[in-house]
Structure 1
Amino acid sequence: MEAKDEKNIVNEPYTAYGSYSYADYLSWDLEEMVELIKGKIFKQAAAPRRIHQEVSFKVARIIADFLEGKKCKTFIAPFDVRLPVQSKKNEDIYTVVQPDICVICDLEKLDEMGCVGAPDLIIEILSPGNNQKELINKYEVYEESGVKEYWIIHPTEQTVMMYFLIDGKFQPSRLFTVGHKIKSSVIDGFELELEKVFEGLEY
């Protein structure tokens, strides 16, 4: 593949130069975080909002505390999750995402670069600039790659939607909000009180 200027690549994520692999991704020296979804480049519109970061930190801390001493591990962005379709070779992987939070119980999927293969649980916290990416593009690759459970947290609306992988397809939960307690199907015994997640947030 012909070499391209990295800055131009990031500024024109959907159309410009065809399909990119994880091997290409590793060769770039970029100042901003990007993701690959089916070979197309997606960049972060801006740094996450403060509320996004507060919610992300709270949820990750609660999960990590619960998992202390257990086999599953919690990771937060930036953390490369590679989702191979067939081969795990860098040049054959065309989806590399950075979920806000992920939980991985099969520790053989971990290497020095991050995770290769689907995490058990992925949590995305919506920001004004990334809603379409989370709701459409990532939903599809998470379902196709076999992520067992996927949460979408909307901080400003104070809601959570959960998706559970059943027979290869995501099945949605009801919409949860403050006052509800949600239970994970992949973290045995884990419950999250949404009041603790959203309390004290100032917009």
Structure 2
Amino acid sequence: MKPYKSTDTKITDISALEPDAIYTYQDYLRWSFEERVELIKGKLFKMSPAPSRKHQEVSRELSLALGNFLKGKTCKVYAAPFDVRFPNTNDQKTYTVVQPDLCVICDHTKLDDAGCNGAPDLIIEILSPSTAAKDLKDKFELYEENGVKEYWVIYPEVAVVETYLLNADGKYSPPVKYVNGQSVNSEVLAGFEVLVSELFVD
């Protein structure tokens, strides 16, 4: 892939972009088309145009549970669309900006008006058929190498939650799976737990 030839012109049509080019966060800021996109190491990924009803319900229940738990605490929870940037350690340019379904940030120095610059403490992705491969591979590797301490992957169609915890070697430990009748516990947010059955409302 080749670097995109940046211009100062606002781009209002996604078809004007070069699918195989490498983009930066500065390019991303000049895009004003309707489609939601993410950049992972400069590569353009389209997001799901409209999450399913189950996806939205899980996001709502988790947002409420996390919001109530974090009242009066230092950490903050944010729901998509909310930009999380991962700067390149070599040249400090940003080639990655993603919009996790939910994320929790405890270090306020990472927060600015544009979103979060650096790794959140906890990221939660709710799988959609069109984004499952990206969440399970590209984002998994991205969050691991950038030091996201805890990563939850939620499968709304089968009511399953998997959690990954970053170990001392900077790698995610094998997933812990939670199903109906169990409570999901967070290691990063000590004391936070939620019943799997409460996330999947009919």
TM-score (normalised: structure 2): 0.90
List aligned pairs for 1:7-46, cutoff 5 A.
Answer: 7-8=14-15, 13=19, 15=20, 18-46=21-49
Q: Could you report, residue by residue, the CA deviation over 1:60-96 in whole angstroms, capped at 9, with x for unpaired residues?
A: 110110000000000000000001122795xx10110
- 4+ runs deviating over 4 angstroms: 2-6
Q: How many angstroms apart in 1 are the aligned matches of 2:80 and 2:113?
A: 15
Q: After TM superposition, give the deviation of residue 145 of structure 1 in Å.
A: 0.5
Separation in structure 1 between the aligned mates of residue 164 and residue 192 of structure 2, nearest angstrom: 16
Q: Distance in 1 between matches of 2:38 and 2:160?
A: 25
Partner Cα distance (1:53, 1:23) in 2: 30
1:13-162 aligned at under 5 Å gives the runs 13=19, 15=20, 18-86=21-89, 92-162=93-163
Aligned-partner SS, 1:140: helix
Shift in Å, 1:104: 0.3
Q: Give the CA RMSD over aligned residues.
A: 1.7
Question: Which runs of 5 or more residues in structure 2 are unaligned?
Answer: none
What does 1:191-202 align with in structure 2 at a 5 Å threshold? Answer: 191-198=193-200, 200-201=201-202
| Percentage of matched positions with identical amino acids | 51
Aligned to 2:170: 168
Query: 1:188/1:28 Cα in 2 relative to 1: closer, same or farther (>3 Å)?
Result: same
Distance 2:6 2:73 in 1: 46
**SS of aligned partner of 2:173:** strand
Amino acid at match of 1:169: K
TM (norm. structure 1) is 0.90
Greater fraction helix = 1
What is the identity, as a one-letter code, of the residue corresponding to 2:190?
D
Q: Secondary structure at the match of 1:51?
A: helix
Q: Closer, same or farther in 2 for the Cα pair 1:193/1:27, shift >3 Å? A: same
Q: CA–CA distance in 1 between the matches of 2:76 and 2:135?
A: 22
Task: Give, in angstroms, the shift of residue 28 of structure 1.
Answer: 1.0
Distance 2:16 2:180 in 1: 41
Partner of 1:185: 187
Residues 132-179 of structure 1 show CA distances to partners (whole Å, capped at 9, x for unaligned) of 110111001100110000000000110011000012101123321111
The residue matched to 2:51 in structure 1 has which SS?
Answer: coil
What residue identity is the alignment partner of 1:65? N
Alpha-carbon distance in structure 1 between the residues aligned to 2:51 and 2:40: 20
**Equivalent residues of 1:161, 1:172 under 8 A apart:** no
Unaligned runs of 5+ in 1: none
